[in-house]
Structure 1
């Protein structure tokens, strides 16, 4: 009965699931010893709601910098929805990373197929057609792999490009805080530490006053995406990867949602 209710709940809230997830600091550029409010959002077009059930769903939240790794997990799970205050005491470029535990979603066949097409998950869509499962409802585990780059003071370093070891990694190959409008930003996409070639990527942009825009791009044969940063403002790069789960009594698929935010 519990699984049936979970499936019904998931079907009803299908529209809420097929959304981006991102880390949003209250400021991306700050001074040494300044504190920001960090929020975890789920939504679309840089507009969303606070990620629910953080206490149960968060696996870890960390800050990576030249001085080492700060684990914010215990602090973050003190509340389900309040902003997480984070103080930065050292100058440099800092990388925030967040991994979630698995969650479950069940979708009707047509909605699941639409989701696969919209997010460029061609491997599973083609597999369903090949196996005669295109009209079969889905059972899916999914987890989040999110990152954000912030700049403290004027001194920059290479912490922005750290591989944090999450299943799906979007790794910046250039420091966005050394770039100007019109220059290229490059990121490398890894799945289980291997370059992800020809993978569809969404690049989102917004400002405090302008409407959010996005574009669909693809990585090259080495898993590298090149993006022209044509405007100042907030940027988000995201992608989704899914695999088939064989002989799993609870789910047919496992997906990983990768995300990276920064400001130009």
Structure 2
């Protein structure tokens, strides 16, 4: 049994640092009624593997417009890993959100501590240090809370700034499809509708021909921060928040992974 548990730790640790999750439409700017595909990825630097086994892992896929909310979960569950075919029949800025069910990860103490430091989860690292647990392995439950913004036609709408009530929210306060390279987008990070202050956020950028770059920033006291969008192309904004779980034999910690993707014209 000990050998099996050690192998599990080793397997999980090997994929530890390929942990960003994002929604990637085949096109971010569409015509009314234009067909496109949505794919779900896990990895780093806008490079990764298809997030498969949706029938067991997906909780909800939702399409939001200014006036309506449409549950697309049944469409997403028709296959485990194939692209999800979609089309939008109204102009405006559309929002897709995806929330996963809980998954489990177990890590050796050093791997877990490194992960906490790399992803800016200082609250848990300091808690483990205070409680004398830095040498203890971890058992963690984690959930995904991902969004993507898509522009249809030439009409803009305020859907981009909706609070979708997922546990972890990255909410842009500017519509990126009305912005241009060189401007800064303001986002607000909420955990269960409360602002997350002093939280590390990573902004990723890539184009079809350029290598992905990223920068790490920190939210203000009200959970907001400004992110310079210095170049056109694909953008991804991500963060992770973790809380301690007490009196649960299954896990010591629960984490939530937030992600937002869009294209800057």
Structure 1 partner of 2:263: 263
Structure 1 partner of 2:215: 215
* 1:110 aligns to 2:110 (yes or no): yes
TM-score for both structures, normalised by structure 1: 0.97
For the residues of structure 1 that align with 2:128 and 2:229, how far apart are their CA atoms?
37
Indicate conservation of the 8 Å contact 1:243/1:255, yes or no: yes
Structure 2 partner of 1:9: 8
**How far apart are 1:7 and its partner, in Å?**
6.9
**How far apart are 1:46 and its partner, in Å?**
0.4
Alignment of 1:119-130 (within 5 A): 119-130=119-130
Indicate conservation of the 8 Å contact 2:184/2:226, yes or no: yes
* Counterpart secondary structure, 1:250: coil
Structure 1 partner of 2:203: 203
For the residues of structure 2 that align with 1:184 and 1:6, how far apart are their CA atoms?
46
* 1:174 aligns to 2:174 (yes or no): yes
TM-score for both structures, normalised by structure 2: 0.96
For the residues of structure 2 that align with 1:47 and 1:259, how far apart are their CA atoms?
15
The farther-off stretch of 240-249 and 6-15 is 6-15
* Counterpart secondary structure, 1:37: strand
* 1:165 aligns to 2:165 (yes or no): yes
What do residues 38-84 of structure 1 show as CA deviations (whole Å, max 9, x unaligned)? 00000000000001211100000011002401111001011111000
* Counterpart secondary structure, 1:235: strand
**How far apart are 1:9 and its partner, in Å?**
2.9
Structure 1 partner of 2:93: 93
**How far apart are 1:202 and its partner, in Å?**
0.4
For the residues of structure 2 that align with 1:43 and 1:217, how far apart are their CA atoms?
20
For the residues of structure 2 that align with 1:99 and 1:114, how far apart are their CA atoms?
26
Unaligned ranges ≥5, structure 1: none
Indicate conservation of the 8 Å contact 2:12/2:105, yes or no: no
State how many pairs are aligned: 263
Unaligned ranges ≥5, structure 2: none
For the residues of structure 2 that align with 1:68 and 1:40, how far apart are their CA atoms?
23
